[in-house]
Amino acid sequence: MNCSHVLVIEKRASSAFEGTTLGQTLNDERIRTIIVCGLQSEHCVLNTALDAMRRGMKVYVASDAHSTWPDGETSATETLEQINKELAESGALVAPTQAIVSMLQSRP
């Protein structure tokens, strides 16, 4: 597989935008829509999605492609549900991966 066109941005904060070139790179490439997935739902996923929306981007969150672990008081499932709800209420389109793929494939 040729991955020479793949851009790798290393991050050290909970938002992929903080302290990285991600925002400028997306802006330079005129990318206005992102799909967020990964670990940890209540930190990196949440903060990256919120930062993207603050920048005026359209944000899809793949509800079945981010995760976390229990924190002693809240189960991982409860946290996932809470984060998905919070992001949806904040303006992200939260849906399973296959639904997002279908939506994007049907776009003109």
Q: What is the pLDDT of residues 33-77, one digit of tens each?
A: 999 999 999 999 999 999 999 999 999 999 999 999 999 999 999
Quote the pLDDT of residue 6.
85
Average pLDDT score, the chain: 95
Quote the pLDDT of residue 92.
99
First and final C-alpha spacing in the chain: 28
Residues 99 and 28: their CA atoms lie apart, in Å, by: 28
Residues 84 and 78: their CA atoms lie apart, in Å, by: 10
What is the DSSP-derived secondary structure letter of residue 48?
A: H
pLDDT-based confidence at residue 5 (cuts at 50, 70, 90): confident
Asked if the model's pLDDT at residue 95 lies above 80, the reply is yes
pLDDT-based confidence at residue 17 (cuts at 50, 70, 90): very high
Asked if the model's pLDDT at residue 3 lies above 80, the reply is no
Q: Where are the domains of the chain?
A: 22-105
Residues 66 and 3: their CA atoms lie apart, in Å, by: 24
What class has domain 22-105? Answer: alpha beta
